[in-house]
Structure 1
């Protein structure tokens, strides 16, 4: 891998997006590489143009990120870490703008929905933009003191906008979980504290297969923090499951649980074994 590529981390979105913020928080020494799609961010790592990718997988308000669970198993990349970003939304205006004079606020439709109460109380008209960071760029370019953007503080810094109102989101617990992806398989130390294991599987076409497959996790005391199903290849009968569990496959409980799972599946693929984020320990 070229030296420059070894310092790059790819993400979907523009500079100033929350994915960019996640990159900066975890890998401040790396060069962020913005990409228009998740597929391109993955391709940059597979093709050797970046060493890592930072991909959002779920949000505490809106659930899983669309399409990401289809992309991860076929990406050819490994999950080597996770990071949680509390989503703090700022009202950003051009320098000299005043909050009382703002008439419109532009942002991604999801971000606008997360600030519904603030916008209503201030009689500010929501304007739908392609994304948060892009909206900040457009507001900076327009130089209209009556139009603001709703985006991250980082987006404001990048585009020279002033924070007119901070943390305007309706729900303080709004958080997005990101996964760090790499071509290199790097697994957590079995003795290095709590690890997460992510895998996908398909159950055999027998009665109560999923119920039986889950039994091994219960009997071995393994905590499953996530289990989601989605169709594969457009079939209504071929269902794939995506799961996160606490624990390392080299520990006895997880080893036994995965072994029992294997009796009831016709496909099982571990996507990554990585250190659990300290965020998981918060109340």
Structure 2
């Protein structure tokens, strides 16, 4: 049976994304992203699932640094609609809740709603862990922001559904493997993810990306981050439409190499069909 590593505990959104991608798999949980990646590298797990960005709260911290250093590969992506619920212990009412705990990303995605309700919020390691600790504390004044699954697993009541600020709240998860699984050359609907660091020269970023425009390569995502080992030059995490074996891709990457350094491909994989809904197709 396939074994999939997730951060947090049962009922976390990473767990839900992993179950959607691998319904017949078994799951192992680790408190940190580093633990998940180490499990994959050490053969404890066959796959790993990590969140990388959210439509409302932006990118998930640390992934930009951890993924390149880990040596693992992106082999798929999964988008998951995120529905946050206000959970309380049995017998609690909404007016009883004074404080909630959840993952910092979840709290960010529900910030306006919680503010209007007059509920204070404090970060927890994970949404499901917050639910588990709420159940253990058994205090009607404390709640959690987590999933329906977490409520069921830890015996909590759903006091208010869908407290996320946006009805389109969606998180993108990356599915990782210790070995690359590159689709055949010529495959349609393929994404390649890579990181690079620009050389410390004028207009380096502008010039490094010019080859993608001239060769018709669509850039889906471009995010800067600071590598703590190279503070004076920015690193960039990029998703593009294209296969590394295509001539256009090779030409674009050759031009990139003139103005960038430490280029590292993280994976080539099929685009999630969910992307077609974003394009209105």
- State the TM-score, normalizing by the size of structure 1: 0.88
SS at match of 2:236: strand
1:220 paired residue number = 215
1:151 paired residue number = 146
1:89 paired residue number = 84
Quote how far apart the aligned CAs of 1:103 are: 4.5
Quote how far apart the aligned CAs of 1:128 are: 4.5
Cα distance in structure 2, aligned partners of 1:19 and 1:29: 16
Provide Cα deviations, 1:176-198, integer angstroms capped at 9, x if missing partner.
Answer: 21111101110123444301001
Quote how far apart the aligned CAs of 1:100 are: 5.0
Provide Cα deviations, 1:215-266, integer angstroms capped at 9, x if missing partner.
Answer: 1111111111122233335333343322110111222322221222223333
1:1-283 correspondence to structure 2 within 5 Å: 7-99=2-94, 101-283=96-278
Change (3 A) 1:39 1:103: closer
Cα distance in structure 1, aligned partners of 2:200 and 2:182: 32
Cα distance in structure 2, aligned partners of 1:142 and 1:16: 18
Cα distance in structure 2, aligned partners of 1:148 and 1:231: 35
SS at match of 1:73: helix
Q: CA contact under 8 A between 2:187 and 2:243: conserved in structure 1?
A: no
Change (3 A) 1:132 1:192: same
Cα distance in structure 2, aligned partners of 1:225 and 1:87: 22
Quote how far apart the aligned CAs of 1:59 are: 1.7
- Aligned residue pairs, count: 278
Instruction: Point out where structure 1 has 5 or more consecutive residues left out of the alignment.
Output: 1-5
Change (3 A) 1:23 1:141: same
Instruction: Point out where structure 2 has 5 or more consecutive residues left out of the alignment.
Output: none
Q: CA contact under 8 A between 2:13 and 2:147: conserved in structure 1?
A: yes
Quote how far apart the aligned CAs of 1:102 are: 4.1
**Structure 1, 113-122 or 36-45: larger mean CA deviation:** 113-122
Quote how far apart the aligned CAs of 1:161 are: 2.0
Change (3 A) 1:237 1:48: same
